[in-house]
């Protein structure tokens, strides 16, 4: 085994060590097993080995071995990746489930040596000043609580997430209305960024501080359960909080899980019909990162009148929307280009609605829809449910 010297303060140093004896450059990380379709947006775009997962693992080896020197020429190879996890699903080696962790640990190390990727420093600067990466004045959500007549204490906290609170407010409002109509005992808190943007871009110095703040706010509200409509927030709370040693000790749900549970228990029912053809885009943070594939489809199929059709690449084979991993802020034109492939696949289905359950996906798919003339609506599941309406079942 090669002697490894890794910065002691690197959270993911155990994942960096995996790079030394497990990847044999077999290239299965480059293609989905379903018809061997392309699966890696970064590799397909740049076509150099260093932009494929196997190449990034080689970069880790070279840097730790001393065969490579830290310099700015490495930045694009390290940061131009949406960390979609397509490689994890395709890889057959023992380290398959940890490839994204390895890339994020590499980024953490890169931030310490050469700084973050293009424009990505803004994420940490904005979040330090205003507690969100969008440079918006922080909302403590008190006005929303008054508007919706929410209590200070409740069993549930709806953790909105920065994207829904500052950019995709239509998702936030539809979610709050759903929770009210379903008579969920919930409230809102003065939430700060969940830390997903920090972790994805390797800028983790304040991550645990933010995690602990959010946990404290939720517990101070007397809640034992958290529901979020953001796939990134969900993944972060379910996996990364534990990785960083933040003791959550709370039940965490994505809204689609709560909706499915309420439907299964016959506690809610749909009031109207949705006579439109819909195709569903699997968010990477909910799909490949958390293995939630069928549950959303079951909810869509329960909506009266809705016809669900599949894109060519779906479930674990789905093509990424292109917004994650810091790509949206670091490589904005390329992010929309990645999403353009989903627009083309949607056209092939004949669907009038492209739907997902992630505000970040909704943002980037909408941008691509505008740029590439998709001529259909991009909607979150909660927006569709808001149009159909729900009521508390008497059962």
pLDDT in tens, 164-213: 999 999 999 999 999 999 999 999 999 999 999 999 999 999 999 999 99
Q: What is the largest CA-CA distance in the chain?
A: 68
Q: 379 — phi, psi (to 5°)?
A: -135, 145
- At residue 16's C-alpha, the angle toward residues 21 and 81, to 5°, is 110
Q: What is the mean pLDDT of the chain?
A: 95
For residue 1, being part of any structural domain is answered with no
Pair 134, 222 in one domain: yes
Distance CA 104, CA 326 (A): 11
Pair 230, 335 in one domain: no
Pair 349, 257 in one domain: no
Position 16 scores a pLDDT of 84
Pair 280, 362 in one domain: yes
Q: Span 22-40, mean pLDDT? A: 86
For residue 137, being part of any structural domain is answered with yes
Q: Span 286-298, mean pLDDT? A: 98
For residue 217, being part of any structural domain is answered with yes
Percent of the chain with pLDDT over 90: 88
For residue 18, being part of any structural domain is answered with yes
What is the domain-level CATH number for residue 276?
3.40.50.1860
For residue 4, being part of any structural domain is answered with no
Position 266 scores a pLDDT of 96
Q: H helices within the chain, ranges in order?
A: 13-17, 41-46, 53-65, 75-79, 86-90, 99-113, 121-130, 142-147, 162-166, 169-181, 196-200, 207-220, 231-235, 241-243, 255-264, 294-302, 327-330, 332-349, 359-371, 381-388
For residue 6, being part of any structural domain is answered with no
Residue 206, both tokens = 């304040």
Q: Indicate left, alpha or beta for 195 from its phi (over 0: left) and psi (-120 to 50: alpha).
A: left
Pair 129, 255 in one domain: yes
Q: Span 239-247, mean pLDDT? A: 95
Pair 88, 58 in one domain: yes
Position 146 scores a pLDDT of 98
Q: Please give the residue range of the domain that contains residue 26.
A: 13-113
Q: Span 103-107, mean pLDDT? A: 96
pLDDT at 325 over 80: yes
Position 230 scores a pLDDT of 98
Q: Length of the chain in residues, anyone?
A: 395
Count up the domains in the chain and report the number.
3
Distance CA 352, CA 375 (A): 8
Residues facing residue 380 across a β-bridge: 356
Pair 155, 125 in one domain: yes
Distance CA 87, CA 28 (A): 8
- How does DSSP assign 6-39, residue by residue? --TT-TTHHHHHGGGTS----SGGGB-TTTT-B-
* Structural domain ending residue among the three candidates 262, 281, 312: 262
Position 22 scores a pLDDT of 77
Q: Which of 25-34, 53-62, 334-343 has the highest mean pLDDT?
A: 334-343
Distance CA 10, CA 243 (A): 12
Split at pLDDT 50, 70, 90, the class of 3 is very low
For residue 353, being part of any structural domain is answered with yes
pLDDT at 4 over 70: no
Q: Whole-model pTM? A: 0.96
Distance CA 333, CA 24 (A): 33
Instruction: Express each pLDDT in 41-96 by its tens digit.
Output: 999 999 999 999 999 999 999 998 889 999 999 999 999 999 999 999 999 888 89
* Structural domain ending residue among the three candidates 69, 97, 113: 113
Instruction: Answer yes or no: are the C-beta atoms of 214 and 228 closer than 8 Å.
Output: no
Percent of the chain with pLDDT over 70: 97
Pair 258, 125 in one domain: yes
Pair 171, 248 in one domain: yes
Position 7 scores a pLDDT of 66
Pair 225, 104 in one domain: no
Instruction: Express each pLDDT in 125-172 by its tens digit.
Output: 999 999 999 999 999 999 999 999 999 999 999 999 999 999 999 999
Position 136 scores a pLDDT of 97
* Structural domain ending residue among the three candidates 113, 132, 166: 113
Distance CA 297, CA 293 (A): 7
pLDDT at 12 over 80: no
Split at pLDDT 50, 70, 90, the class of 8 is low
pLDDT at 34 over 80: no
For residue 251, being part of any structural domain is answered with yes
Pair 69, 134 in one domain: no
pLDDT at 19 over 50: yes
pLDDT at 108 over 60: yes
Distance CA 182, CA 169 (A): 20
Position 20 scores a pLDDT of 75
Pair 369, 384 in one domain: yes
């Amino acid at each position: 085994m090669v002697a490894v010297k890794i910065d002691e303060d690197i959270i993911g140093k155990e994942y960096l060590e995996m790079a030394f004896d497990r990847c044999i450059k077999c290239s299965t990380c480059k293609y989905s097993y379903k018809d061997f379709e392309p699966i890696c947006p970064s590799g397909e775009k740049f076509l150099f080995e260093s932009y494929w997962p196997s190449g990034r693992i080689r970069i880790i080896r070279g840097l730790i071995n001393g065969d490579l020197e830290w310099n700015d020429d490495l930045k694009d190879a390290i940061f131009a990746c949406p960390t979609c996890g397509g490689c994890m699903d395709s890889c057959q080696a023992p380290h398959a489930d940890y490839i994204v962790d390895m890339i994020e640990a590499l980024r953490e190390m890169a931030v310490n040596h050469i700084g973050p990727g293009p424009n990505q420093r803004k994420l940490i600067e904005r979040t330090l000043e205003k507690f969100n990466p969008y440079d918006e004045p922080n909302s403590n959500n008190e006005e929303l609580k008054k508007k919706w007549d929410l209590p200070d204490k409740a069993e549930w906290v709806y953790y909105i997430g920065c994207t829904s609170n500052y950019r995709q407010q239509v998702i936030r409002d539809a979610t709050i209305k759903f929770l009210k109509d379903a008579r969920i005992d919930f409230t809102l808190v003065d939430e700060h960024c969940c830390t997903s943007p920090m972790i994805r871009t390797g800028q983790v110095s304040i991550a645990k501080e933010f995690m602990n703040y959010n946990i404290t706010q939720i517990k101070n509200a007397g809640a034992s359960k958290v529901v979020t409509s953001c796939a990134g927030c969900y993944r972060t709370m379910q996996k990364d909080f534990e990785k960083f040693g933040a003791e959550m000790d709370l039940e965490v749900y994505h809204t689609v899980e709560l909706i499915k549970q309420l439907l299964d228990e016959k506690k809610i029912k749909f009031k109207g019909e949705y006579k439109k053809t819909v195709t569903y885009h699997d968010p990477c943070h909910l799909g490949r990162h958390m293995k939630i594939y069928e549950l959303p489809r079951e909810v869509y199929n329960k909506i009266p009148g809705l016809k669900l059709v599949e894109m060519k690449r779906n479930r674990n084979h789905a093509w990424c929307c292109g917004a994650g991993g810091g790509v949206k802020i670091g490589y904005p034109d390329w992010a929309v280009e990645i999403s353009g492939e989903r627009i083309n696949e949607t056209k092939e289905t004949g669907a009038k609605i492209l739907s997902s359950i992630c505000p970040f996906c909704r943002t980037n798919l909408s941008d691509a829809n505008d740029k590439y003339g998709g001529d259909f609506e991009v909607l979150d599941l909660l927006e569709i449910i808001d149009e159909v309406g729900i009521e508390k079942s008497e059962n």
